[in-house]
Structure 1
């Protein structure tokens, strides 16, 4: 007789990724010779030829000795710009094919990485699949982002935070998490839709005290912020030198990244931190996902956590605070494998956490 109090059995998972701005470089992670193809050839080939989804990596738990993969990372063969500009039905069909591949491998939990989440309406435009639990990975990303903001800002008030892409799935969840434990004294929410911005700001103001909240549909107020959180969905760099005050700190939580790599040269006074990255020392990830060994993106970590904990409730659409809390608790349960905030990277290179003195100078 089964024990009704026993923890659910672990499931296997798959996590979907896609080539980013430099398609050749990312496809070379699958097979090195693919990196020699010119960009124009990739654009034509991925759109015209029946390129199938392919496994990029296998994931193994170091605390399980059966040798079987706990999960797979699968490449959706569509470039970032194509995901955002090609016919939506074609794009969704390519994501569906990757989910088909995941099911054939034996995955019961499927995570939608990078732009595969927004282009499918947070997974809501994909067909239902009995026995498969879907997630965008956005809730754990929001939790880890809120933790990074608290790590970056000292406890003293006075800092101005700007959140670009505030009304998106991750952004709105981050804002609500910050409302429960406010930091800084001024918060500027930036997004395209004024109505959603107004509603989110009103929600924050009704739950938080001591923080002045403002909204904008342009990047102009970002120039006044000490710390800028970037949560947009774009195929190209969005935030550049002209948008940032002297000494600003930027937390870029986007894939493909939405901060201009030229910032590292043009603005040495600005510190850019790659957001949404967790340490996973207890996980053996056999493949190249574009991060140093022992690290993983938070959205991939959420997919793992849902699988390891036997989670059966789909987490599509906008990320909720309740699910972020569940994923935080799951991370604590599997803390022997990692799932805490990684040491900081900047454009993929290790850096130190910015000292409070830097932010004090910016303010």
Structure 2
């Protein structure tokens, strides 16, 4: 039985932003904001000095404190703006949200969704003495491997393809699979370049047949496909998947075609990177059923509760993923375990194991 850990004195903030449906996400902050058309939001967020907004307050259920343990703050920028606008503008929006976080009393800030790639995984943010920053990618990598474990056990074969393999989460997952292979074949897909070939070379000789590609078509033979890329031109569609493929989509905004639900009933898509947190009270709508949270938010909470003060920016490391796994075990009374699955936001079930010995 895990011993309960005492509350830490620090507080945290986690940064999010409106996703594809900007109006719907802004309505989570204040319902009337949902009446503003998406095109108006796009122009307004670019041209007007819209301040960062508080979406939710977060409380631990194992304390009687009235004050929040943390906050979820909305960065006033759309996904397109964070990835394609002038970098100084995007950084300014994120820095403004961090200013708000510090004013609220946060000593740890987590970079959610596209706020991480927009800031070079946090490396482009200005130094702030006393502030710890995390991308949340290490705990995401840990939960992703746990999700892959469930899917590989249920798949008709053991060929895993990872789209976005050289990114922060992807490279960490690949290295974790090198230490504990889950399949016989591994296909790594990214934009290419020296990083892709170096990563593939690094994990060859681990008992897996490792291939690399710059084309999404390379996943067509895979039994399990992991989607980690935030690239807008890398949408996983029905044409990329074999019959009966199992997909784990770890992206926000998601990079799987929503038409897959209708076009490919033989394919199961699981929303990845989601943890169960029954011991945490999130007082606000984060777009998930109550009692669930994204792994990157969970890492921010775990680092705060565990008193960790070393930033985790840039590429996620296996070492930090294991630290986060161990912290989750110390705070297991609050949750931080792999959640029962969602598929396109709706509850579903893990597929039953299909292979002998799985």
Query: Which ranges of 4 or more aligned residues in structure 1 deviate by more than 6 Å?
Result: none
Provide, for residues 95-144 of structure 1, a one-character-per-residue CA deviation record: whole Å limited to 9, x for no partner: 00000000000000000000000110010100010111000000000000
- What residue number does 1:134 align with? 133
- Determine the C-alpha separation between the residues in 1 that align with 2:232 and 2:71: 25
* Secondary structure in 1 matching 2:81: helix
- Determine the C-alpha separation between the residues in 2 that align with 1:299 and 1:328: 13
> Do the aligned partners of 1:12 and 1:106 also contact (CA within 8 Å) in 2?
yes
Q: Select which of 244, 254, 265 maps to 2:251.
A: 254
> Do the aligned partners of 2:156 and 2:223 also contact (CA within 8 Å) in 1?
no
Distance 1:326 1:157, change over 3 A: farther
- Ranges in structure 1 where 5+ consecutive residues have no aligned partner: 1-5
> Do the aligned partners of 2:155 and 2:224 also contact (CA within 8 Å) in 1?
no
> Do the aligned partners of 1:19 and 1:26 also contact (CA within 8 Å) in 2?
yes
Superposition deviation, residue 355 in structure 1? 2.5
> Do the aligned partners of 2:166 and 2:196 also contact (CA within 8 Å) in 1?
yes
* Secondary structure in 1 matching 2:255: coil
* Secondary structure in 1 matching 2:62: coil
Q: Select which of 221, 226, 229 maps to 1:224.
A: 221
- What residue number does 2:211 align with? 214
- Determine the C-alpha separation between the residues in 2 that align with 1:236 and 1:23: 20
- Determine the C-alpha separation between the residues in 2 that align with 1:138 and 1:81: 21
- What residue number does 1:299 align with? 296
- What residue number does 1:11 align with? 10
Q: Select which of 291, 299, 313 maps to 1:316.
A: 313
1:275 is the counterpart of 2:272? yes
- Determine the C-alpha separation between the residues in 2 that align with 1:351 and 1:115: 26
* Secondary structure in 2 matching 1:143: helix
> Do the aligned partners of 1:56 and 1:288 also contact (CA within 8 Å) in 2?
yes
TM-score by length of 2: 0.95
User: Which structure 2 residues correspond to residues 231-242 of structure 1 after superposition, within 5 A?
Assistant: 231-235=228-232, 238-242=235-239
* Secondary structure in 1 matching 2:220: helix
> Do the aligned partners of 1:223 and 1:245 also contact (CA within 8 Å) in 2?
yes
- Determine the C-alpha separation between the residues in 1 that align with 2:242 and 2:153: 19
- What residue number does 2:112 align with? 113
- What residue number does 1:185 align with? 184
- What residue number does 2:65 align with? 66
Superposition deviation, residue 298 in structure 1? 0.1
- What residue number does 2:86 align with? 87
Distance 1:173 1:245, change over 3 A: same
1:337 is the counterpart of 2:334? yes
- Determine the C-alpha separation between the residues in 2 that align with 1:30 and 1:81: 20
1:25 is the counterpart of 2:30? no
**Count of aligned residue pairs for this structure pair:** 352
Provide, for residues 262-295 of structure 1, a one-character-per-residue CA deviation record: whole Å limited to 9, x for no partner: 1001111110000000000000000000000000
> Do the aligned partners of 1:188 and 1:215 also contact (CA within 8 Å) in 2?
yes
Superposition deviation, residue 229 in structure 1? 0.1
> Do the aligned partners of 1:80 and 1:115 also contact (CA within 8 Å) in 2?
yes
The two structures, once aligned, show a CA RMSD in angstroms of 1.7
- Determine the C-alpha separation between the residues in 2 that align with 1:261 and 1:145: 21
- What residue number does 1:96 align with? 95
- Ranges in structure 2 where 5+ consecutive residues have no aligned partner: none
Superposition deviation, residue 8 in structure 1? 9.6
- What residue number does 1:3 align with? none
- Determine the C-alpha separation between the residues in 2 that align with 1:114 and 1:214: 28
- Determine the C-alpha separation between the residues in 1 that align with 2:46 and 2:202: 42
Distance 1:263 1:75, change over 3 A: same
> Do the aligned partners of 2:189 and 2:215 also contact (CA within 8 Å) in 1?
yes
* Secondary structure in 2 matching 1:117: helix
- Determine the C-alpha separation between the residues in 2 that align with 1:53 and 1:143: 30
Superposition deviation, residue 158 in structure 1? 4.4
1:349 is the counterpart of 2:351? no
* Secondary structure in 2 matching 1:153: helix
Superposition deviation, residue 11 in structure 1? 1.3
> Do the aligned partners of 1:137 and 1:303 also contact (CA within 8 Å) in 2?
yes
